[in-house]
């Protein structure tokens, strides 16, 4: 027995969404034998783009029943069935989330018609529900409404059952009901986690750290790990037996601690983060009369003026530099070089270095202001930011261009006293991307954080 489900939601942040409409069609493999459809008052705002897409806005659901009023009916109609949905991970997660808010563990086996369609109907142009059923000649009335989408999914699932002549793929695709021991283990591990910025560690049964992560909200991020249905995530869920964490107060210290921990511990599930954090760098070429900025892919051990996760991010930041310092976009590598003036010169945003109207000396001096700002060589300063608690601040110490370490201090402590600073600092042995992490953090938060030169 199957229950084909479709859910419409409010949209918004992961695991903070609410259900606005639900349709459940109980299907015995030949026909629909029971049906439940209802609007739901999500008790939270519906995102405007979702309202435009579905036609369900805050006014429509104002007097609809709340989820707790529908919960018993949902449990009864799905009892003893496998849940079937198009992108089942989403619909199942939403149901489980709503039930968890009520303190009830809702568990059912699931089947995903997206995954089944890719196996049984290979070569389709798209596997989105709307485009897929159109290609298959299945009628769809009321797209992006729960009942219309659910009815189309019933027809699609019926076709998939017929296609699966050996019954093997349907059996293999079924996500069995989670073992109570495993599910309760993850729930227990989630208890007492803080909704705070910091670093967290997953340990196996021997206490060995198998994964290190950082987040602005530890509890929320770990919940995402535990609700992820990807094979690698499920493997990690099975392996983790203990959690530990450290509050850091701000993202920079979390980033520094995460990178150092991954380097030192080499956790088995951190393969991706062992590789390059930054792929592109910004460099300065002084060999020409007019000094030029350029972006290129980073090689090992290179120390760029600034590093970026991708070329697009690099271009965006450099474009901002061009505007702030009235640089020539051609000489800064964000506009293709050609004979004659750059585009910015025509709108008085470039002083004419591209056509030698501005002297090289004047242009290079202005460019030097930019590069000096982000060149950490021989610089000594403290970066002051939020602490873990309201009564403290944090600092990151940069000495001779290297990130020496970090510390937390009470607001009345004289942190510029060198002897005190040396005593409270927690050193960072692995430099790696530390300098670039600090530069990137300053760039994004310079209006909020404080820098004290030493």
pLDDT at position 182, please? 46
pLDDT at position 144, please? 83
Average pLDDT (214-237) is: 88
Average pLDDT (11-32) is: 90
- Does the pLDDT at position 422 exceed 60? yes
Alpha-carbon span 254 to 101, nearest angstrom: 30
> Which of 265, 294, 322 delimits the end of a domain?
265
Tell me whether residue 338 is in a domain.
Answer: yes
Average pLDDT (58-62) is: 94
- Does the pLDDT at position 25 exceed 90? yes
Please tell me whether residues 245 and 386 are part of one structural domain.
no
Average pLDDT (160-165) is: 81
Please tell me whether residues 298 and 402 are part of one structural domain.
no
Q: 393 and 386 in contact (C-beta within 8 Å)?
A: yes
Please tell me whether residues 28 and 83 are part of one structural domain.
yes
What is each CA distance from 324 to 106, 237, 327, in whole angstroms? Answer: 55, 47, 8
- Give the pLDDT band (50/70/90) at residue 67: very high
Specify the residue for token string 């997206």: 114
- Give the pLDDT band (50/70/90) at residue 173: low
pLDDT at position 175, please? 57
Q: 8 and 21 in contact (C-beta within 8 Å)?
A: yes
Please tell me whether residues 290 and 391 are part of one structural domain.
no
Per the structure, the complete domain to which residue 202 belongs is given by 180-265
Distance of CA 251 to the CA centre of its chain: 14
pLDDT at position 167, please? 67
- Give the pLDDT band (50/70/90) at residue 178: very low
pLDDT at position 276, please? 59
The per-residue pLDDT for range 257-290, each reduced to its tens digit, is 998 888 888 898 987 544 557 888 899 999 999 9
pLDDT at position 391, please? 83
Tell me whether residue 297 is in a domain.
Answer: yes
> Which of 123, 138, 173 delimits the end of a domain?
173
Task: List 261's β-bridge partners, or say none.
Answer: none
pLDDT at position 179, please? 43
- Does the pLDDT at position 453 exceed 90? no
Please tell me whether residues 367 and 385 are part of one structural domain.
no
**Token representation of residue 348:** 């008085």
pLDDT at position 307, please? 87
The per-residue pLDDT for range 83-118, each reduced to its tens digit, is 999 999 999 999 999 999 998 889 999 999 999 999
> Which of 231, 265, 299 delimits the end of a domain?
265
Give the count of domains, the chain: 4
Please tell me whether residues 89 and 219 are part of one structural domain.
no
Tell me whether residue 12 is in a domain.
Answer: yes
pTM listed for this prediction: 0.55
SS3 labels along the chain: CEEEEEEEECCCCCCCCCEEEEEEEEECCCCEEEEEEEECECCCCCCHHHHHHHCCCCCCCCCCCEHHHHHHHHHHHHCCCEEEECCHHHHHHHHHHHHHHCCCCCCCCEEEHHHHHHHHCCCCCCCCHHHHHHHHCCCCCCCCCHHHHHHHHHHHHHHHHHHCCCCHHHHHHCECCCCHHHHHHHHHHHCCCCCCCEEEEEECCCCCEEEEEEECCHHHHHHHHHHCCCHHHHHHHHHCCEEEEEECCCHHHHHHHHHHHHHHHCCCCCHHHHCCCCCEEEEEECCCCCCEEEEEECCCCCCCCEEECCHHHHHHHHHHHHHHHCCCCCCCCCCCCCCCCCHHHHCCCCCCHHHCCCCHHHHHHHHHHHHHHHCCCCCCEEEEEECCCCCEEEEEEEECCEEEEEEEEECCCCCCCHHHHHHHCEECCCCCCHHHHHHHHHHHHCCCCEEEEC
Asked which of 194-208, 309-323, 415-429 is least confident by mean pLDDT, the reply is 415-429
- Give the pLDDT band (50/70/90) at residue 171: low
**Token representation of residue 174:** 């079924």
**Token representation of residue 28:** 């015995």
pLDDT at position 183, please? 62
Average pLDDT (408-427) is: 79
Average pLDDT (316-320) is: 90
């Amino acid at each position: 027995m199957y229950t084909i489900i479709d859910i419409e939601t409010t949209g918004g942040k992961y695991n903070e969404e609410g259900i606005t409409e639900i349709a459940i069609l109980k299907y015995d493999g030949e026909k629909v034998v029971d049906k439940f459809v209802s609007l739901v008052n999500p008790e939270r705002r519906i995102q405007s783009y979702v309202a435009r897409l579905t036609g369900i806005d805050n006014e429509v659901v104002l007097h609809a029943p709340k989820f707790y009023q529908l919960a018993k009916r949902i449990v009864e109609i799905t009892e003893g069935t496998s849940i079937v949905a198009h992108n089942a991970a989403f619909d199942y997660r939403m149901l489980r989330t709503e039930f968890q808010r009520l303190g009830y563990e809702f568990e059912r086996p699931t089947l995903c018609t997206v995954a089944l369609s890719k196996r049984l109907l290979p070569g389709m142009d798209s596997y989105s529900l709307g485009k897929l059923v159109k290609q298959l000649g299945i009628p769809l009335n009321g797209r992006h409404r729960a009942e219309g989408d659910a009815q189309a999914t019933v027809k699609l699932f019926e076709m998939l059952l017929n296609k699966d002549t050996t019954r093997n793929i349907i059996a293999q695709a079924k996500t069995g009901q989670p073992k109570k021991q495993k599910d309760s283990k993850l729930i227990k591990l989630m208890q007492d986690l803080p909704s705070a910025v910091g670093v967290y560690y997953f340990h196996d049964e021997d206490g060995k750290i198998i994964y290190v992560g950082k987040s602005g909200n530890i509890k929320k991020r770990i919940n995402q790990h535990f609700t992820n249905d990807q094979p690698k995530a499920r493997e990690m869920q099975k392996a983790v037996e203990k959690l530990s964490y450290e509050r850091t107060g701000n993202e920079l210290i979390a980033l520094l601690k995460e990178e150092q921990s991954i380097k030192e511990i080499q956790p088995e599930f951190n393969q991706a983060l062992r590789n390059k954090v930054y792929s592109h760098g910004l460099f300065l070429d002084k060999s020409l009369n007019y000094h030029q900025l350029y972006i290129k892919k980073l090689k090992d051990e290179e120390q760029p003026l600034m590093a970026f996760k991708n070329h697009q991010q690099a271009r965006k930041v450099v474009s901002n530099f061009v505007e702030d310092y009235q640089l020539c976009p051609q000489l800064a590598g964000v506009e293709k070089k050609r004979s004659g003036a750059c585009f910015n010169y025509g709108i008085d945003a470039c002083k004419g270095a591209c056509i030698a109207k501005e002297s090289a000396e004047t242009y290079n001096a202005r460019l030097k202001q930019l590069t000096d700002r982000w060149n950490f060589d021989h610089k000594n300063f403290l970066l002051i930011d939020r602490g873990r608690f309201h009564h403290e601040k944090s600092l990151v110490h940069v000495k001779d261009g290297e990130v020496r370490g970090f510390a937390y201090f009470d607001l009345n402590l004289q942190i510029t006293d060198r002897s005190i600073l040396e005593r409270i600092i927690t050193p960072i042995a692995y430099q790696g991307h530390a300098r670039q992490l600090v530069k990137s953090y300053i760039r994004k938060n310079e209006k909020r954080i404080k820098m004290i030169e030493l």
